[in-house]
Each structure stands twice: as structure tokens, then as C-alpha cells.
Structure 1
Amino acid sequence: MSTLSLLVLILFGLMVLVGGKRGLSAFLSVVFNFSLLFMALLLIAGSISPLLVVLFTSICILAITIFMGNSDEDATTTAFFATIIVLLVMMALMLPMDYLAQIKGFANEQSEEIEAFNLLVGVDFEQVLIATTILSTLGAIAEAAVAIASGLEELSQHNAAITLDEIYRSGKNIGFQIMGMTFNTLFFGMFGGDLALFVLLHKLKENFGYYLNSKIFVAESMQVLYSVIAVVLVIAITTYLMGKKIMKQRQNGLSKSETGDQDEKTI
């Protein structure tokens, strides 16, 4: 048994032991998402448009991650629609920004590793860059959307008289905490993943301007910024949608109760 297989088994056992059925569902969602990513890789390698492939794959991944990991239908549905809106907005933002930054393809630091290979693979690397960036933001926006939606749904259940302003204020407070943790997680993940590169550049006595013009550093930094922007957007959109949904449910409940009272008076 390989080390990777052993780690997967340990992960499966811990998720089932700690989370029970919910942990099993979360593990299955990881398996399904991995299968979708592998399928997306094959489709892109088969010369199908990376943007179309990643759009379909992202919607499927968001649906699996959100609906399989949570049981509250109202909150998960709102979170799912919020993430779809943010996904489309981020795609519209990435298209011009990545074109202006010109960070597609491989960097000079990676040339030694790939110089023996033929790079004429018939794939648009600019679209591949956008697809990679979109996929890297999915986990952050799904987590933030579910946290906001679930928190506001539970808050409305415990306080039936909560106003729309209080819902927005609570969503903002939850969102501020999520933004801080998300930014730190993404930043330290980027720094840890490229630590060896930073050490190499420091040993080469490169100045700070080289970092700012390094394709690898700029690409990683832009991915972090995209993820943070997506999280901020999904917090705002989820809070807005949940506020409108809670108010609509309350109005429908009042209308039904008023109708029932009128029927009793008629009888």
C-alpha cells in the first residue's frame, strides 16, 4: 500500500469516526469532486474550451460541496445561488485582468523543468489560467456562503421578530470574521507553497522589483486577491438574498395566518 493510499484511508476513518454520516457524506463529496476535476482535465486536454469545461465543472462542484455537506435546504439553496452569481462575476473580472497581466503559461524559473517537453499542445494557456484561478476560488466562496446562510437561518429561527437591518448587520459581523480567516489562510498557503522559490530568489540577491515582476509571484498573488474579492462578494450577496428570503417567508406566514383567522370567523 502506498503512502497516499494510507493517508486516504486515515482521512476516511477519521471523517467517519468524528462526523458520522455527515463525515461520510463529506468524504464522498471529495471523491466526486476529484472525479469531476479529473474529467475536466481530460476534456481540456481533448481541446474542448477550458472556460466552458470549468464553468460546468464549477457548478457541479459547488452543488456537490454545498448540498452534500449541509442538511438545511433553505440555507443551502440560497448559498448555492449566491456562489453561482459570484462565479459569473469573477469570470467576467478575470478575463480582462489576466489578459492585461500577461501571466499565462510557464515562468522563467520553470523553464529548466519543462525544456525537454513539447509545449505545442494545442491548448489556450490564457483560458487554462482563468480556469485554474476559478477552481482555486470555489472552496473559499462555498465555505463563506454556507457559513453566512446557515448562521442567518438559525438566527431567524431563534428570533422570529428580527428586522431586515438586524439581519444585514449580523451578516456583516459574520462576514468580517470569515474575511479575516480566509485572507490569512490563502496568504499563508501561497507563502508556504512558494517558500522554496522565495528562498532561492533571496540567495540570488534579487531585489524587490524582481518579485513584483516575477510571473509566479504575480500569478499566485492575483489568485489570493481573486479569492478574497470573491469571498467579499459572496458574503454581501448571500446576506442580501437571505434577508430577502427570511422577510418573504415571514410575510407568507403572516398571510397564511390571516387567511386562517378569516376562515374561522366565517365559519
Structure 2
Amino acid sequence: MACFLKICEQHSISAAAQSFFMTPQAVSKEVKRMEEELGAPLLFRSQKGVVPTEYGKVFYEHAQRMVAEFDDTSREITEMRLQNEGFLRMVSAYGILRFLSPEFIRTFVKHCPTVHLDYMEFPDSYIEENVLNEKYDVGLMPYLHERDELAYIPLFSREIFFITHPGSRFYDCSEVSVRDIAAEPMIIENGNFLIHHIMAETCRRENTNLDVYFNTSGFSLCYKLCKEHKGNTASMDFIFHDMSNPTLHCIPFHEHPHWNVALIYKKDIPLSDNLQCFIRHSKTWCKKMMQA
């Protein structure tokens, strides 16, 4: 069928044969065998080269789907085999491994020494697509809404706080609302990061907007500009403690927005032993952290 598709695309048996490292005679034989099985001619020669007959046009549509399905199946089986042979590809949003700590990875590798864990970090918005496109087997990411094609296992949740500097009129407040700070300049991570959308949704619910002074691609610059009194920012408590700047204050929002993190994987794939092991490890690790 792949040969037949290539002939229709190239209008040439010779070109198709070259693509598959076959002789034109071998490709012609394959086409003839399919025609005999179907009981109808599939190709004929014209001034444009070799083109499909009316029967061939119908077969072309079905062959496209069948070849694509076979390729998908073959890829899934290969990926599952690699997982069961010891390979597991994990992708994480920035900040999650900072919270879970390197021991999260080290402990998993120690308990499952036969698994080769290949992991990468990206901005939040890249995680779902990488898992959906099967570039990675499992992802760790903050989320607001679930996609139908993915399975979500909630792992932990951290509150988002208002971070401010000594020059701010909110510096000594015990709590602020998004309405309170609407006119204050905010430095916040850009749309590739979920905190941007969490704060925007919180404001929509309160019928207000933030005055965004600057969008950045990382929380380090948010804190740097806040320390320089250029504006305020918002982040989770563990980020605030890691930055350890004694001049800045971490103040709760009245609305208590949260950064919810889940483990995700594609629903329509079989779960390998290694992936199931990683899921169990992640759930156990996060449960212990929440109890600590």
C-alpha cells in the first residue's frame, strides 16, 4: 500500500521503486497482486504518467488511512518496547523539580535501577503538546483545565502570593485582593507560563485587570525588577523562599489562587511497567511532601 501511495504521488513506478529501494519490476508485481486481490485495475498510464483509476482513487483514500494507522501502531509498540526495556521519557514544566527537589529523581532511579529516565524541562505551555505528540511518555505540569486526550493525576497544589518591595503601599499588609492591586505595576511571567493565566482568570472573576508593567520568561527577572522597585510580582511560596531576599514581602491574596500540578500521559496508550512505576513513585513522593 505504501508503494501504491508513492506511485500515485510521484506518477511513476520507477520513482516509487527508488524510494523503497526496490526494482520497478518488484513494485509492478506488488501492484498487480493487489489488483488481483481486489478484482479491479488500480492504475493506468496517461500523458501525466501513472495515475489511479476510479477504483484506484477509492483505494488511495483507504490506503492512506491504513498506512497511517499502521505507522501509529508501529510507533506505539516501539515506544512501549523501549519503555519496558528500560527507557522512560519525562518532561517537566520549569519550577516543578525545584519544588520536588532532585531527590525526587534520584530516589526513583535508585528504586528502579533498570530504568533509564530521560527528562527535559520546558515552559508550561510546551508540556501537553510534547506528551500528545508522543515525544515524551509522561509530563509534570501545572494546569487549569483538562484536555480530553490526556489523563491527569493531581500531585500537589501551592498557593500563589503577592510579592512586593519596601516602596509599595502594600508592604505591611497582611492580605491583598486583585482589586486592591489593580492599579499597581506588576511584573509577571508571560503567556507560556500558567501563573500568567491563573492571575488573569482570577482577575476576570473579580471583574478587574492587572497593570502589567513587564512580561518575562522567568521568575528570576520578576524578582530582580521587584527588588529594584519597578513593580510587584506573584509567585508560589517555595519560589519566594528559594529567592531568599529579606527586603521583599510575601503576602496572601484574598482570592487564594493556586498553582495545581498534575502528572499527565496520553489516554490511548498502554501503560508500560516503567510508566506505572513512575506514576506510583510520583504519587507516593507528593503525598509524603504534603504530609510533611
Q: TM-score range by the shorter chain?
A: under 0.3
Using the size of structure 1 for normalisation, the TM-score is 0.22
Using the size of structure 2 for normalisation, the TM-score is 0.20
Structure exhibiting the larger radius of gyration computed from Cα positions: 2
Higher strand residue share:
2
